[in-house]
Chain A
Amino acid sequence: MSEQAASLRAPTRTPAFEARLKKRYAAERRFRIAGIAAIGFSIFVLAFLLVTMALNGIGGFQRAELTVPIDFTEAGLAGDRTSLAGTAGMQSLENQGLPEVVAFFAEQSLGEEAAAELGESAWREVAEAIIADPALLQREAVFELPATSDLAGGLSGEGSPEMQALAAQLAERGQLEKNFDIGFLQRSDATDPQQAGIWGALKGSMLTMIVTLLLAFPIGVMAALYLEEYAPKNRWTDIIELSINNLAAVPSIIFGLLGLAVFLTIFPNLRSAPLIGGMTLALMTLPVIVISGRNAIKAVPPSIRDGALAIGASPIQVVFHHVLPLALPGILTGTIIGMARALGETAPLLMIGMRVFVASPPEDFTSAATVLPMQIFLWSDEIDRGFVERTSAAIIVLLLFLLVMNGLAIYLRNKFEKKW
């Protein structure tokens, strides 16, 4: 008996066993090193991407501006707060010859050659300043006005040698410099990269996302709740489940075609509208929310349902008092994933005409709009060097938007998360 016990215990003391043990530890070390390497590589790639983007994008948030002092006392322009209100004010100033006034003072301070490189719509910025503060007309003021993209290119060391020389000369005199351009976040698309802004696309994205969220979240959650809690388990629900899983894998452009065929047939006047875009993206987001919602609901322990039922809660009370609050963090996670995908989506929106040049931000859900990824796509197609930087800047804005959206969702998720 003792001999047998000894022989049973022996294998753990033999050199062969110890060699195997060493091998096992070595395998574990290799696995850990591989894991660290994988994480390190992904961090490196991410950092590379972000740094490249940031370096390129910083230029996109700036623009080349010419310094133009204007003495309005000599210009002979007239107007006060009431006569200059709104678009009529812009018109009135144009009729009174503001563009010529700006051109004149630019020529005086910068010289003929440089004044020609003043952005075409530079006078509009002067006009806006006057409309905001008509008292300007009684005094002298200094404006930082956008240069043409040719001159801006010259400042960055590109384009024709003459332009580079002119830019260098102006920069030396302190009359041309790159400034941070807050207007990039306030303006909309323009043909001139110096004039282009992201606000139109950003607002378009926001409006579209609002529509998507308002449609996809309640419908998706309700569908998930019904399928998980109420629906009988039979062939029909199996078919529905299969269809939803398939829908989640359908290429997004197909949803665009669906939006084109269905929504734009019903609302032909709403081409390019955030409403239609949001509805199309909601179709795409729905299956993601339904699937993640069902999984989250399934993960709620049945004992909680039993406990509630056993003290006489009705099925709907069980669902809304117990199951839904416990499943909400999981549902929100799925919603984040779905919404993030929708935010970055371009293809389906191409189909419903959101590939448009929108020079003014959309006013509501039914006006023509474009979205951030579409704007990036449009700008990346431009030849002008200025748009390359604008593209990078737009990408940064898109990523920040995504970050804010995800941050909000994670905050909500943690807020609702219960521990037990």
Chain B
Amino acid sequence: MVTVVHPNLEDTEAKMSARDVSVFYGDKKAIDEVSIDIPTEYVTAFIGPSGCGKSTFLRALNRMNDTIPSARVEGTIELDGEDIYRSKMDVVQLRARVGMVFQKPNPFPKSIYDNIAYGPKIHGIAESKADLEEIVETSLRRAGLWDEVKDRLGDSGTALSGGQQQRLCIARAIAVDPEVILMDEPCSALDPIATAKIEELIDDLNGRYAIVIVTHSMQQAARVSQRTAFFHLGKMVEYGRTTDIFTNPLEERTKDYITGRYG
């Protein structure tokens, strides 16, 4: 079974490209030979029913699967032409370049300021305290959170509302100036208003970072992404421009999913 790729994709430079990637948990094959190019200038959405492996594939992109002892990856994933699974690859550096936002907001139980400043601090990005303060402000501004928290940077990050926490996590990822941001169902724990704000934010960030978003919601994929990949049972079934996938799916299973026949 080969992925159906829509023909009318213009040539874009791939920030990340995966070739024949399979991910195993022990003996179980969770991802089966997925190949995809992640462009810099677009938001790419992974959609598909629960358990189809889209999150697993996303976590393979910055080697977060390394934390699961039984997980194993085959195939190649390249970031700017470098294989991220080669033995010389520095995982710490990779994750600084490929940031991640999780399903459940997970701010550190520290102050808002320290949440943002932590990444730049451990990577030594900021030269001085003023520098660090500037990074914190810029990151919070980009995440659209600055006006809400500028007077209480010393408060605990965990005291914020769910939507604010998630934007804080996005700001935290932005603070280390990554090239790619992976978002694993970032809105699934949020109410519609907070979700709208996150989607607006993704629109703003689009272009500056290559963004990959995993989502359950097809409406969300349609709203925020320009490229969509449909996953089913560990395989990538169809990949193309979001408009094409939603208006003119080539595969029967994609059509069934987006019309709500299963999911």
Give residues in A with beta carbon < 8 Å to B.
Answer: 232-233, 301, 303-314, 317, 321-322, 326, 418-420
B118 touches A311 (CB 8 A): yes
CB within 8 Å for A307 and B107 given contacts A232-B69, A312-B123, A419-B158: yes
Quick one: which of B104, B156, B173 contacts A311, CB cutoff 8 A? Answer: B173
In the bound complex, how far is the Cα of B157 from the Cα of A418, in angstroms?
Answer: 11
Q: A416 CB to closest chain B CB, in angstroms?
A: 11
Q: What 0/1 pattern do residues 164 to 176 of B give for CB contact below 8 A with A?
A: 0000010011011
Asked whether any CB of chain A lies closer than 8 Å to the CB of B257, the reply is no
B95 touches A311 (CB 8 A): yes
A306 touches B107 (CB 8 A): no
Indicate the member of A311, A317, A420 with the most B CB atoms within 10 Å. A311
CB within 8 Å for A306 and B102 given contacts A311-B118, A420-B158: yes
Residues of A within 8 A of B96 (CB): 311-312
Q: A344 CB to closest chain B CB, in angstroms?
A: 35
Q: A326 CB to closest chain B CB, in angstroms?
A: 7
CB within 8 Å for A307 and B106 given contacts A312-B96, A313-B92, A420-B156: yes
A306 touches B118 (CB 8 A): no
Residues of B within 8 A of A307 (CB): 102, 106-108, 169, 172
B109 touches A310 (CB 8 A): no
In the bound complex, how far is the Cα of B95 from the Cα of A313, in angstroms?
Answer: 8
Q: Can you name the residue of chain B whose Cβ is closest to the Cβ of A303?
A: B106
A317 touches B122 (CB 8 A): yes
Asked whether any CB of chain A lies closer than 8 Å to the CB of B162, the reply is no
Q: Can you name the residue of chain A whose Cβ is closest to the Cβ of B110?
A: A418
Residues of B within 8 A of A308 (CB): 108, 118
Residues of A within 8 A of B67 (CB): 305-306, 309
Interface size class of B (residues with CB under 8 A): 20 to 34
Q: Can you name the residue of chain A whose Cβ is closest to the Cβ of B63?
A: A309
A301 touches B156 (CB 8 A): no
Since A303-B106, A308-B118, A313-B122 are in contact, a sample of 11 more A-B pairs with Cβ atoms closer than 8 Å, ordered by chain A residue number, is: A306-B67, A306-B102, A307-B106, A307-B107, A307-B172, A309-B67, A310-B173, A311-B173, A313-B118, A418-B156, A420-B109
Asked whether any CB of chain A lies closer than 8 Å to the CB of B119, the reply is yes
Q: Can you name the residue of chain A whose Cβ is closest to the Cβ of B123?
A: A312
B95 touches A312 (CB 8 A): yes
Residues of A within 8 A of B93 (CB): 312
Residues of A within 8 A of B175 (CB): 311
Q: SS class of chain A's interface: helix, strand, loop or mixed?
A: helix
A311 touches B102 (CB 8 A): no
Could you list 11 examples of A-B contacts with CB < 8 Å? A303-B106, A304-B109, A306-B64, A308-B118, A310-B99, A310-B173, A311-B175, A312-B92, A312-B96, A312-B176, A321-B118
Residues of B within 8 A of A303 (CB): 102, 104, 106
Residues of A within 8 A of B221 (CB): none
Asked whether any CB of chain A lies closer than 8 Å to the CB of B132, the reply is no
A309 touches B106 (CB 8 A): no
Q: What 0/1 pattern do residues 98 to 121 of B give for CB contact below 8 A with A?
A: 011110101111100000001100
Residues of A within 8 A of B169 (CB): 307
Q: A62 CB to closest chain B CB, in angstroms?
A: 52
Residues of B within 8 A of A321 (CB): 118, 122
CB within 8 Å for A418 and B69 given contacts A309-B95, A312-B95, A317-B122: no
A311 touches B172 (CB 8 A): yes
Residues of A within 8 A of B173 (CB): 310-311
In the bound complex, how far is the Cα of B119 from the Cα of A419, in angstroms?
Answer: 22
Q: B169 CB to closest chain A CB, in angstroms?
A: 7
Q: B68 CB to closest chain A CB, in angstroms?
A: 10
A233 touches B69 (CB 8 A): yes
Q: A351 CB to closest chain B CB, in angstroms?
A: 43
Residues of A within 8 A of B158 (CB): 419-420
Residues of A within 8 A of B95 (CB): 309-312
Indicate the member of A233, A305, A310 with the most B CB atoms within 10 Å. A310
Residues of A within 8 A of B118 (CB): 308, 311, 313, 321
Q: What 0/1 pattern do residues 27 to 43 of B give for CB contact below 8 A with A?
A: 00000000000000000
B64 touches A309 (CB 8 A): yes
Q: Can you name the residue of chain B whose Cβ is closest to the Cβ of A312?
A: B96
Indicate the member of A303, A321, A322, A420 with the most B CB atoms within 10 Å. A420
Asked whether any CB of chain A lies closer than 8 Å to the CB of B254, the reply is no
Residues of B within 8 A of A322 (CB): 108
6 A-B pairs with least C-beta separation: A312-B96, A420-B158, A303-B106, A310-B100, A311-B119, A418-B109
Q: B62 CB to closest chain A CB, in angstroms?
A: 7
